[in-house]
Amino acid sequence: MPASRLLRDRTARWIGVVAAALLTGGVAAAKPYGPGTGSAAAHMASSAAMTCEARSPEHTVALLELFTSEGCSSCPPADRWLQGLKGQGLGLDKVVPLSLHVGYWDAIGWKDPYAQARFTDRQRDYARQQRAASVYTPQVVLAGQDFRRWGDAELRSALAKLAGKPAGARITLEGSTVGRAVRIRADAQLQAAASASGVPAPSSQLHLVVFESGLQNQVTRGENRGATLTHDAVVRHWQGPIALSQGKAAASEIVGLAEPGDRRTLGVAAFVQNDRGEVLQATACVMQ
């Protein structure tokens, strides 16, 4: 059976499951991605399903994390830079960009609607791991390492080096959205090369992400007062870390949406990262 047909069949099966669960309160909305579960089932019949699937390649795909904030006047240029990656031919087969909005700029006048405390925690974990004195925005973390020189030439050089490495993990990923619900599913397996040395391999974890592009927001206070800011690849929901057991992990989640998914540009991503911060592999796709 073709992969696309298999994904459509799976989607059709989970539509019934999630509709029943939402009607009976069996699925909790993921915060802060939005409630909306009470009316999700009502949209199932009238909304067309959007799906995507991805299988990670043999080479390493870079995970690019941009820590940003709508309250930071230095961040809009970095946001625009991330938005332009695809136009430069840097597709998801080369780099998986994620925009993680932090909240520590909120105190100076503008509350970032996309900020989550866990992203601030993640950035601080990187700082501790790399013995940095503080956190800052905009910060680019590439493949788990601080990447201060994030100009186009420097990025292409770094991506070429990463692509020259065999992937440390294999990932299969599926995303489906119908009405006010989105399902993400991923399987991950470490590659033999990741543990072939005589040194015990560090523990590895699987992470699943729902992201959204095409967002626009008018800022009325703070450093960016009066600006209309646009964003791509904004992380709206995060599941993980999910520990790999005997080199394998599988995860699946249904997330409630505040608005129907067919009005939005939604995507899913998955990556495997070890305790040293090294990203072994990443993959992503956009639902259509």
Q: Are the C-beta atoms of residues 162 and 155 closer than 8 Å to each other?
A: no
Predicted structure pTM score: 0.84
C-alpha distances out from residue 172 to 2, 38, 62, 83, 204, Å: 15, 31, 16, 25, 16
C-alpha distances out from residue 84 to 90, 179, 227, Å: 9, 29, 19
pLDDT digits (tens, 9 = 90+) for 207-241: 999 999 999 999 999 999 999 999 999 999 999 99
pLDDT digits (tens, 9 = 90+) for 90-142: 999 999 999 999 999 999 999 999 999 999 999 999 999 999 999 999 999 99
> Tokens 């998986």 label which residue?
96
**Looking at the DSSP assignment, which residues form a beta bridge with residue 145?**
142
How far apart CA 254 and CA 248 sit, in angstroms, is 21
How far apart CA 88 and CA 35 sit, in angstroms, is 36
Query: Would you state the structure tokens that stand for residue 190, as one six-digit string?
Result: 């470490």
Which pLDDT does position 28 carry in this prediction?
A: 36
Q: Are the C-beta atoms of residues 210 and 181 closer than 8 Å to each other?
A: no
Query: Would you state the structure tokens that stand for residue 238, as one six-digit string?
Result: 């995060």
Smallest CA-to-CA distance from 176 within 287, 278, 37, 40 is with 287
The domain spans of the chain are 3-286
Q: Are the C-beta atoms of residues 271 and 282 closer than 8 Å to each other?
A: yes
| Residue 196 or residue 71, greater confidence | 71
Which pLDDT does position 37 carry in this prediction?
A: 38
How far apart CA 103 and CA 126 sit, in angstroms, is 16
